[in-house]
Structure 1
Amino acid sequence: MEYRRLGRSGLLVPELSFGAGTFGGRGELFGAWGSTDVTEAREIIDVAIESGMTMFDTANVYSDGASEEVLGEALRGRRDRVLISTKAGLPTGDGPWSAGSGRSHLISAVESALRRLQTDHIDIFQLHAYDAGTPAEEVLSTLDGLVTAGKIRYVGVSNFAGWELMKSLSTADRHGWQRYIVHQVYYSLIGRDYERELMPLGASEGVGAMVWSPLGWGRLTGRIRRGQPLPAGSRLHRTAEMGPPVDDERVYDIVDVLSGVADESGHTVPQVALNWLLRRPTVSSVIVGARNLDRLRQNLGAVGWKLTDDQVARLDKVSATEAPYPHFPYRRQEGFAQLNPPLAG
């Protein structure tokens, strides 16, 4: 397992991280993801740690906090061997103080997460969404205080727009507060919007990407194929339509190329899709989930090898989309391209 810097920080993280959204199993959405209990989680974590996958990502909204509870209990006795990443900010109830990034809510969210996770600190604490109603100064000063108090080590965000992230970074720089070092983003072969604004911003400002849903909400598992029905009993019947809409033909075209590359390389379709992501600029870690040990071991097969340049080029081509203004067509013209060369992987 390769370890990488998380953005422009001193923190080293594994290239694959484990997403604990399958832990707990409460509610319609997370119940469809998985319902791993503490005993099963311990077995999965054993294999993950042994392989070098030593970062575990969760959130307070995953299974109404049960994901954090299961993760904390399963990590008992080996907390010092792992990194814990969690998130807060999305609604956890119906009350007026159940969501957002205000000072009171953030402090309460961190205290609750520490209790559920059975730990005295959170390695990476991320805002799950931008809160337009709370001043950036209040958010960042609160996070800075939590770092000073030793309750969190590093701060980041998830699902921010480019201007929202840049405004936050500028505010932190102006006051000398803790800077966001990570952006947890949706990115995959069928969802490459991250590359337009957020990737160049991350490269410029030292914000690393932790990628969620790298298989496009299950569309790139290899089980969705042109002219074939979904397998009976597959959870894709419930989850494949939850993510951003994608044209069926586009999915089929990408999976066709993935399948060809998989056959050439001796790997599976998901392993190829994950390996492609691991070579993309600014990507520090790709978050993968697993409901059982077999699936975890399959995901671990995405590391330790590299796609050829030709294979990468074919995947790039089939998954490319036309970018909106101001990115296209002007950035492809000679003068614009000279001033804005593509980012290196």
Structure 2
Amino acid sequence: MQVSFACTDHGLKAPRTTEPSKQNTASPNTASAARARFRTVALIARSLGSFTHRHHISLKESTGKLTGMKYRNLGKSGLRVSCLGLGTWVTFGGQISDEVAEQIMTIAYENGVNLFDTAEVYSAGKAEIILGNIIKKKCWRRSSLVITTKLYWGGKAETERGLSRKHIIEGLKGSLQRLQLEYVDVVFANRPDNNTPMEEIVRAMTHAINQGMAMYWGTSRWTAMEIMEAYSVARQFNLIPPVCEQAEYHFFQRDKVEVQMPELYHKIGVGVVSWSPLACGIITGKYENGVPESSRAAMKSYQWLKDKIVSEDGRKQQAKLKELRHIAEKLSCTLPQLAVAWCLRNEGVSSVLLGTSNPAQLRENLGAIQVLPKITPHIATEIDKLLGNKPHSKKDYHH
């Protein structure tokens, strides 16, 4: 049996007091008693098992013993999130039944996923309703979940969108009502709002946290400069700064996460929750021979995706994916698993959000955790050569 005790020297020192005479007379007795207590605790610990330090597990990353899921800190906050999260844009976006949505979420939860991301705009609030209903039905402990939502597009009225104090507070209240929750763990400001002063956004987010409606706040699709401005405003007025940025990251979108975000992480502690690791399905290979009628890109609302796929750049991407498939075969994994594991390899990424429309797809993507150790520096270099789009870091420019 192993017992861990947190041992510090605080208990060995006499308590400070404003009266020097009392401090001098109390110190020897207090210190002596504290040392005696410490010796007793140490003896008990040794009799029960080995005496270990409290921080014997690295805070950077730990692994769930039963599921194999890895957990990381959200930026430099203390919040522990699963390295793979479930996004609800596709899953609860009205394209699949509520039963299948529940099945997908259950598979995710049972495999150690604790991060579930949604937004007020997804299916005009329906995604939040479905997510809330599933959590309530499954009776999962609220403390075991990390629920995040995003604000910006709340409705058609002028006051129902943007990042004004009014919409941040009212929008978040609406999200909580649909989710049937008292609070969310992280509320994201989805895209910067040029109509609202930064101070107003940071003050509103601070108010939401102070009122217990959220634990943390973050940004989504903001530039590094905008995130830095929010941090500066927070420090200037003693407000709460953002802890992470939601950013697109995959084989064909690298600059922001690989060049700009590491600097922000080291300077101000802002981490990354990345989305679209399969580039809206492009990396799955299903568009290799055009756009299938049953695919998302064939839908009218996704005309932009279809245009992207059939463009010259899109055809070049498909050619590169054929070559990347050979690397995946060499590692005994699928191309989507390779793509997700490649995103996870970036140390600045706290969690990668998966968007999936069926259980089999989710199970496949969750297998990326087993592929992660296989992406050695040699394999990573091979991928970089094939992609030919490795961004230059600031260090590169100095040489």
Which TM-score applies when normalising by structure 2? 0.75
Q: Is residue 54–residue 83 contact of structure 1 (8 Å, CA) maintained in 2? A: yes
Closer, same or farther in 2 for the Cα pair 1:100/1:157, shift >3 Å?
same
Q: Are 1:269 and 2:335 an aligned pair? A: yes
Measure, in 2, the Cα distance between the counterparts of 1:240 and 1:251: 18
Tell me the equivalent position of 1:340.
none
Tell me the equivalent position of 2:6.
none
Q: Is residue 22–residue 36 contact of structure 1 (8 Å, CA) maintained in 2? A: no
Q: Are 1:223 and 2:286 an aligned pair? A: yes
Matched residue SS, 2:207: helix
Tell me by how many angstroms 1:242 deviates. 2.9
Tell me the equivalent position of 2:51.
none
Q: Is residue 186–residue 212 contact of structure 1 (8 Å, CA) maintained in 2? A: yes
Tell me by how many angstroms 1:322 deviates. 7.3
Tell me the equivalent position of 1:296.
362
Tell me the equivalent position of 1:35.
96
Match of 1:278 among 344, 363, 383: 344
Tell me the equivalent position of 1:206.
269
Tell me the equivalent position of 1:256.
322
Matched residue SS, 1:242: helix
Tell me the equivalent position of 1:30.
none
Q: Are 1:308 and 2:369 an aligned pair? A: no
Q: Is residue 218–residue 242 contact of structure 2 (8 Å, CA) maintained in 1? A: yes
Q: 1:225-244, aligned counterparts within 5 Å?
A: 225=288, 228-238=289-299, 239=302, 241-242=304-305
Closer, same or farther in 2 for the Cα pair 1:177/1:59, shift >3 Å?
same
Partner amino acid, structure 1, of 2:353: I
Structure 2 gap ranges (5+): 1-68
Tell me the equivalent position of 2:396.
332
Tell me the equivalent position of 1:69.
129
Which TM-score applies when normalising by structure 1? 0.87
Partner amino acid, structure 2, of 1:282: G
Tell me the equivalent position of 2:14.
none
Q: Is residue 44–residue 293 contact of structure 1 (8 Å, CA) maintained in 2? A: yes
Tell me by how many angstroms 1:74 deviates. 0.5
Partner amino acid, structure 1, of 2:384: D
Matched residue SS, 1:85: strand
Q: Is residue 23–residue 36 contact of structure 1 (8 Å, CA) maintained in 2? A: no
Closer, same or farther in 2 for the Cα pair 1:71/1:139, shift >3 Å?
same
Measure, in 1, the Cα distance between the counterparts of 2:197 and 2:117: 27
Q: Are 1:187 and 2:249 an aligned pair? A: yes
Tell me by how many angstroms 1:24 deviates. 4.3
Tell me by how many angstroms 1:21 deviates. 1.2
Partner amino acid, structure 1, of 2:128: E
Measure, in 1, the Cα distance between the counterparts of 2:110 and 2:125: 26
Tell me the equivalent position of 1:53.
113
Which is worse superposed, 231-240 or 182-191?
Answer: 231-240
Tell me by how many angstroms 1:295 deviates. 1.1
Higher RCO (CA 8 Å, separation ≥ 6 residues): 1
Q: Is residue 297–residue 306 contact of structure 2 (8 Å, CA) maintained in 1? A: no
Tell me the equivalent position of 2:30.
none
Q: Deviations over 1:275-297 (max 9, x none)?
A: 00101131010000221211110
Q: Are 1:85 and 2:148 an aligned pair? A: yes
Measure, in 2, the Cα distance between the counterparts of 1:85 and 1:251: 32
Measure, in 2, the Cα distance between the counterparts of 1:284 and 1:303: 14
Partner amino acid, structure 2, of 1:196: V
Tell me the equivalent position of 1:319.
387
Tell me by how many angstroms 1:44 deviates. 1.6
Tell me the equivalent position of 1:341.
none
User: Once the two structures are aligned, what percentage of the paired residues are identical?
Assistant: 32
Measure, in 1, the Cα distance between the counterparts of 2:292 and 2:156: 37
Partner amino acid, structure 2, of 1:6: L
Matched residue SS, 1:214: coil
Measure, in 1, the Cα distance between the counterparts of 2:105 and 2:318: 34
Measure, in 2, the Cα distance between the counterparts of 1:312 and 1:257: 14
Measure, in 2, the Cα distance between the counterparts of 1:43 and 1:158: 28
> CA RMSD for the aligned pairs?
2.1
Tell me by how many angstroms 1:234 deviates. 2.5
Match of 1:159 among 189, 205, 221: 221
Partner amino acid, structure 1, of 2:154: T
Q: Is residue 206–residue 240 contact of structure 2 (8 Å, CA) maintained in 1? A: yes
Closer, same or farther in 2 for the Cα pair 1:243/1:164, shift >3 Å?
farther
Tell me by how many angstroms 1:22 deviates. 2.5
Partner amino acid, structure 2, of 1:55: L
Between structures 1 and 2, the one with greater helix share: 2
